Structure 1
């Protein structure tokens, strides 16, 4: 085993265009960073339109890509991908099969997608530079049940799809409001049969009697306060924790990955439930936890001397200008985290290299279609991104040293 192993992690890659011919020096600097790492990892935020075809299963947020985008990711320097996310099923099972086929042709280390539930749940493992590496990748949705992989049963074939961590949005109400909602439900005659019918095409939610009420697709829970929370399916979490533990036990350096859209109303705030899942993954044996979904860079926490990247935001983000949701500059700014591990898979150091998608010029002109490739940030822009990241991470007790446009966390 090598004395030191460097693993690069980035924001998610929602890539729809082949960007190999972009010659901007700042983009070449990004590629140089990723190629120097022993292994570079991103989330491929999409689905491939390939030999299996497929049909759009979404509205305006639908997306699919030509297989050439995977060649772009390899050219940039990536060798490892998560495939578990809300766009992985945009073409249905056919898109899943094409994505797997094209990813495997290019020998990516990958996880989170499968031809059935057993395969989607399995850790992706491989030997990289003499080091055994494993990825366990989950998606928390929200998404319809049919996007998640299933094994064959009697008179029911297997379903290709995504590895799930079932999360349910719950509306918390106090005792008085809970009793009023229950009385309204009973007076209008809303029954378990109605709940089942309203949940189609999904199965109805699994409720805790006397503590939860389901009406249409909303679940209300009895609480001491008003608010929103997320309920984690313990069986799903236990299955993924077991995959992490099994690969850690064989000496693998384990990346635990989660994609989700259960954000806080403030994009920069880390929901408590995410922190809980991350720490349980590390307790099970993961050497790092990486998450995407929230469209901005969120802080890093160090837990048991292992990094938790709560959201690395975006690395490649090919969206259209009419999607005004994505106009804030922070959506286009992130960092590349170069994590150095010793021969015992213990963390030695993390260096943080700020990037701007399209660079300062594209960020200023407001045309999202011009923001095709990540550029290494420099000068005041680099300082701004790192300073914001450092201030956020201080709340988690992490000290990020900033010098020469690079952030460093030492151990």
Structure 2
């Protein structure tokens, strides 16, 4: 094993175009950072339209890419990908097969998609620079049941799909509101059969009749307060934790990854349940936890000497201006985290390099023109790192800032 191993992690890459030929020096600096690492990791936020074809399974948020974008990610420095996210099934099982085929053809270390449930549940392991590295990548949705991988069973064939961490939202209401909802349900004659019909194509939710009410796709939970909560499928979590433990026991540096859209109303706030999942992954043996979904940079926490990147926001974000809601500057800003590990996969240092998609001046352009991440400098770098440092300090992490770079030492 090498004495020192450097792993770069970035925001998610929703990539539609080949950006290799963009000559801007600030983009070249980003590539230099990625290539400086022994391994660079991102989430490929999409699905490939390839030899297996496929059909759109979404409305206005549908997206697919040509295989050339994978060549782009390879060329700019990435060697590892998560494939588990809400766009991975946009072309259905056919898109999953095409994505796996093209990713494997380019020899990426990858996880999060599989040809069936058994395949998608295993950690993917490779040897990079003399170090064993493994990825367990999960998606928490929300998404329909049919996007997740399944084994053949009886008369049902197996299904290619995403590795699931089952998460279901509950709307919490107080006692009086709960009784009112129960009365409304009974007055309109809403039955279990109606709930089953409204839940299609998914199975109807499992409800506690004393504390939960399901109407259409909403589940209301009896509580002492009003709010929202997330219920975690413990079987799914246990299955993924077992994969982490097995890979860690084999000596691998394990990246535990989660993509989800169960955000807090304030995108900068980290829901409590995410921290719980992250820490259980680390307890199981993960060397780090990385998450995407919320389209902004969220804080870092250090637990048992291991980093938790709650959301690294966006790294490449190819979207259209028409009817877009992604106009806030924070959506286009993030950091590259360069994590240095020593013997026994012990974390030694993290350096944080701020980036702006399209560059600082590109924020005035149409969204279609913001194609590549640029290394941020001067005031922009200080501003991004200051916000990140202040948020992380609330979780007990001291991020030093010097010359436009953040540093965490252990």
TM-score by length of 2: 0.99
Distance 2:386 2:228 in 1: 31
Distance 2:213 2:232 in 1: 17
- Residue 27 of structure 1 corresponds to 27
Distance 2:2 2:78 in 1: 20
Distance 1:115 1:324 in 2: 33
- Residue 301 of structure 2 corresponds to 301
- Residue 397 of structure 1 corresponds to 396
Stretches of structure 1 that go unaligned for 5 or more consecutive residues are none
For structure 1, which segment, 315-324 or 9-18, has the greater mean C-alpha deviation from structure 2 after superposition? 315-324
Deviation of the 1:192 alpha carbon: 1.2
Distance 1:222 1:304 in 2: 35
Deviation of the 1:122 alpha carbon: 1.4
- Post-superposition Cα deviations, 1:333-388, rounded to whole Å, max 9, x if no partner, equal 0000000001110100000000000111211x231111101011111111111011
- Residue 7 of structure 2 corresponds to 7
- Residue 172 of structure 2 corresponds to 172
- Residue 280 of structure 1 corresponds to 280
Deviation of the 1:208 alpha carbon: 2.1
Distance 1:21 1:208 in 2: 57
- Residue 126 of structure 1 corresponds to 126
Q: How is 1:130-145 mapped onto 2 (pairs within 5 angstroms)?
A: 130-145=130-145
Q: How is 1:77-226 mapped onto 2 (pairs within 5 angstroms)?
A: 77-226=77-226
- Residue 385 of structure 2 corresponds to 386
- Residue 311 of structure 1 corresponds to 311
- Post-superposition Cα deviations, 1:80-135, rounded to whole Å, max 9, x if no partner, equal 00000000000010000000000000000000001111111111110111111000
Runs (4+) of structure 1 exceeding 6 A deviation are none
- Residue 406 of structure 1 corresponds to 405
- Residue 248 of structure 1 corresponds to 248
Distance 2:113 2:148 in 1: 9
Distance 2:144 2:323 in 1: 23
- Residue 239 of structure 1 corresponds to 239
> Secondary structure at the residue paired with 2:60?
coil
TM-score by length of 1: 0.99
Deviation of the 1:324 alpha carbon: 3.1
Distance 1:404 1:64 in 2: 39
Give RMSD over aligned pairs: 0.7
Q: How many residues align?
A: 410
- Post-superposition Cα deviations, 1:253-283, rounded to whole Å, max 9, x if no partner, equal 0000000001000000000011111111111
> Secondary structure at the residue paired with 2:360?
helix
- Post-superposition Cα deviations, 1:281-318, rounded to whole Å, max 9, x if no partner, equal 11111110000000000000000110000000000000
Distance 1:322 1:278 in 2: 36
Deviation of the 1:169 alpha carbon: 1.0
